[in-house]
Amino acid sequence: MPKVTILGAGSAVFAKQLMMDILLTPGLEQGEFALVDIDGERLELSHQMAELLIELTGKDWRVSASTDRTQVMADSDYIINMIEVAGLACVRPDYEIPLKYGVDQCIGDTIGPGGLFKALRTAPAWLDILADTERLAPDALVLNYTNPMSIMTLVGVRASTLPIVGLCHSVQHTSEQLARYLDIPYDELVYEVAGINHVAWFTRLERDGEDLYPRLRERARDPEIYEQDPIRFETMLQLGAFVTESSGHFSEYVPWFRKRPDLIEKYTRAGYLGESGFYANHWPQWREAGDFEIKQYLKRKARGRDPRVKLERSTEYASYIIEAMETGRPAVIYGNVPNTGLIDNLPQDGVVEVACLVDRRGVQPVHFGALPPQLAAIDRWHMAFHELTAKSILEEDREAAIHALMLDPLTSAVCSLAEARAMFKEMVEAEKDYLPEFVRR
């Protein structure tokens, strides 16, 4: 009977989806959820939602909840980490201060100035979580969804002896998009992906043994298709492969699309296609809307009405990992794991995203080989950013964090070294209440 602890469960919509996925998994008839969040009010929403999902699915699961993780996490089999540290307080300075220096971010939570400062704010809590897990649930598998996911996973595997895998949904969602762009049934698409999170590449796209890249390039020259994903199509046409992250978010990972107003106008579009400040301007409202959605389910249930919860298992990997490990039914997922010879031409001490076989033995990464050199070069650039950020966190080295910012592709495209240092100092001053002491000094 698996015990699943969800940290950051106050993110009620995502917690709802992960719990629903697990409850809808064949063979997981009994188990326990332990929900944790420092926001008691939002935690209670997720607690009530969990009870409702258990009732709707008819599964024999129980649920506990606490603002103190040490009270509920003991003997967990799976730890799902999805915490957010000082997000509401810092989402504006993460976007607005870099913009003063010409660094125009769309999402800004995994890379660039926003991603760096999110890592610096989040790491202390993450390291505390791992220490508590080693003490209270030493046999647990840790599934990390918290952004910046690659950096948090890298910090985790270096600081802890626990098995840790970083998870995202960009491979699943992008493969579904590619099937639509190619106008073929999704179950006929055969693909292989490798790289790093958000900068992983579809190195193989086939149907019945036929290479689909010529067809995709032809489709990309149709303005109606190109406009649905302009930055990713442009990247594919120029560099030879389709990338896993959305056009808007990926535009922050490279220096070619956001460094001048004319390029922003040419390549970016509204929303997830590259809108400036899209995350900063909308995330607080999305959070409120998500809480409202959960409250509506619960209100309808309290009034004796159909709560109108659509019971559907998503493509998030967490439930498939738990299913494979608990039932022995194997699964293939794309996980973020240490590069132990998996991708030959990327740093072997970093974290990469590759296919992984999962069964009762756990998560087993599959060797990929070498990426095309132009793609590997882009990934190595980001792995250097990850490396410096992890060094800063683990060694309490403020200068390493500044060097990471200087090497960030988008920042370095528009800022001098002195400007990057000045930006770092200004962001520290704005966010000092949420940063570790070594950064504030």
Q: What length does the chain have?
A: 441
Confidence of residue 88 (pLDDT cuts 50, 70, 90): very high
Q: What is the pLDDT of residues 372-385, one digit of tens each?
A: 999 999 999 999 99
CATH domain 89-114+166-276+316-441 topology: LDH C-terminal domain-like (3.90.1820)
The dihedral built from the CA positions of residue 34, 37, 41 and 42, taken in this order, carries a sign that is negative
Tell me, yes or no, if 169 is annotated catalytic: yes
Q: What is the mean pLDDT of the chain?
A: 98
Q: Which residue, 435, 357, 363, 346, is CA-closest to 398? A: 435
In angstroms, the CA 148 to CA 386 distance is 10
In angstroms, the CA 215 to CA 218 distance is 5
Q: Are 398 and 100 in contact (CB under 8 A)?
A: no
Q: Does residue 440 surpass a pLDDT of 90?
A: yes
Q: What does pTM read for this prediction? A: 0.98
Antiparallel, parallel or unpaired: β 362-365 and 30-36: unpaired
Predicted pLDDT of residue 234: 98
Helix (H/G/I), strand (E/B), else coil: 79: strand
> How many Cα neighbours within 13 Å face the side chain of 155?
31
- Percent of residues in the chain assigned helix, strand, coil, to nearest 5: 55, 15, 30
Q: What is the pLDDT of residues 50-81, one digit of tens each?
A: 999 999 999 999 999 999 999 999 999 999 99
Q: What is the pLDDT of residues 231-286, one digit of tens each?
A: 999 999 999 999 999 999 999 999 999 999 999 999 999 999 999 999 999 999 99
Name the active-site residue from 169, 173, 282, 403.
169
Q: What is the pLDDT of residues 386-438, one digit of tens each?
A: 999 999 999 999 999 999 999 999 999 999 999 999 999 999 999 999 999 99
Q: Which residue, 396, 402, 404, 399, is CA-closest to 438? A: 396
In angstroms, the CA 197 to CA 432 distance is 28
Confidence of residue 441 (pLDDT cuts 50, 70, 90): confident
Q: Where are the domains of the chain?
A: 89-114+166-276+316-441
In angstroms, the CA 56 to CA 310 distance is 10
| Residues whose CB is less than 8 angstroms from the CB of residue 323 and which lie 6 or more positions away in sequence, other chains included | 25, 26, 27, 28, 329, 331
Distance of CA 212 to the CA centre of its chain: 28
The dihedral built from the CA positions of residue 138, 141, 147 and 151, taken in this order, carries a sign that is positive
In angstroms, the CA 220 to CA 214 distance is 10
